[in-house]
Amino acid sequence: MDKARRVGALRQALASLDPVVRTGQNGLISLGAGPVDTVLGGGLARGAVHEIFAERPADLAAASCFAGGVAARMEKDRPLLWVRSRKAQEEAGFLYGHGLAEMGIAARDMILVVVEDVVEGLRVGVEALRCAGLGAVVLEFWGHSRHLDLTASRRLALAVENGAAMGLVLRVAGEPAPSAAVTRWAVAPAPSSDPYGLPGRPTLSARLLRQRGAGALGHWHLEWNHATQAFGFPALSGAVVAPVVDRQNRAQRRAGWARTG
């Protein structure tokens, strides 16, 4: 099936979804971690696009956890659409069903679409973000692409601004560009804690690099609580220190990410 037919088939499928629209009192989605929500002015904005960067391929699991957690905080009666480029599928493998279930995302609540390239992914994203029957749309892209520019992000923002959905652009090993996204995050793994030495809750390092309107920024260690379906803070947190040979370069890159866009 060629690209045009695939997009047409998806458009028909989206049109069949029940257009349930529920907006919160302030149009925001709380992450569940009070200090983070405070910096965000109450939570992440609906009807908007947010960028999540995994600086290295090894950071993808943590970045996906963050994206999945945010999506899981949306209403349960509207499905999640996860769009992956074929490059992301080939490099990272299939999404892990049990991991998604831990985030509170059941298979029946998610639609997965694999696209051939960034151009097709952006086209699908625009169509999906116009759909009132979706709760969140994740667009996952691998590497740098000239197509992920300010014009593309504006199209996504215009598509979603009149709805109650949320667009999450998940970038893996890509360079940031000027963007119409409301927030930009860099997410990486962080040590999880368990008093018995067992694997703890999913824990991540989340840096808010940019917030539209010159809002406050921050850096937190967050963990996902499956029972409460919310982010919180680890009881015992440890610092994540980059290798000495890489520390300065990573700091310089993050500073550039905060300025870009």
pLDDT digits (tens, 9 = 90+) for 221-261: 999 998 899 999 987 544 444 443 444 455 555 566 666 66
Q: Is residue 136 in a domain?
A: yes
Structural domain of residue 116, as residue ranges?
52-259
**Which residues does 228 contact at the CB level (< 8 Å), separation at least 6?**
32
Q: Is residue 42 part of a domain?
A: no
Residue 13 lies in a domain: no
Range scoring the smallest mean pLDDT among 23-32, 103-112, 120-129: 23-32
What sign has the CA pseudo-torsion 21, 24, 30, 32? negative
| CATH number of the domain encompassing residue 109 | 3.40.50.300
Domain count, the chain: 1
pLDDT at residue 242, rounded to an integer? 43
pLDDT for the residue numbered 4: 63
Write out pLDDT tens, residues 86-109: 999 899 888 888 888 888 888 888
Domain annotation covers residue 77: yes
Average model confidence (pLDDT) across the chain: 84
Mean pLDDT in residue range 57-62: 94
Asked, for residue 183, whether it belongs to a domain, the answer is yes
Q: Which residue has the higher pLDDT, 124 or 250?
A: 124
Residue type, 251: A
Q: Does residue 30 sit within a domain?
A: no
The verdict on residue 58 lying in a domain is yes
* pLDDT of 13 over the 90 cut: no
For residue 18, pLDDT beyond 60: no
The Cα 84–Cα 114 span in angstroms is: 5
Is this model's pTM higher than 0.75 or not?
A: yes
Q: Tens digit of pLDDT for each residue in 207-226?
A: 999 999 877 899 999 999 98
Q: Above 70 in pLDDT, residue 11?
A: no
Higher-scoring residue by pLDDT: 95, 31: 31
**Tens digits of per-residue pLDDT, 132-190?**
889 999 999 999 999 999 999 999 999 998 777 899 999 999 988 999 999 999 999 99
Q: What is the DSSP string of 110-127?
A: EEEEEESSHHHHHHHHHH
In a domain, 24, yes or no: no
Does 196 or 44 have the greater pLDDT score? 44
For residues 40 and 15, the model is more confident at 40
Residues whose CB is less than 8 angstroms from the CB of residue 91 and which lie 6 or more positions away in sequence, other chains included: 57, 142, 172
Average pLDDT, integer, range 192-199: 64
pLDDT of res. 191: 86
Distances (CA, A) of 75 to 54, 97, 133: 26, 20, 11
Q: What angle do CA 53, 57, 63 make, to 5 degrees?
A: 40
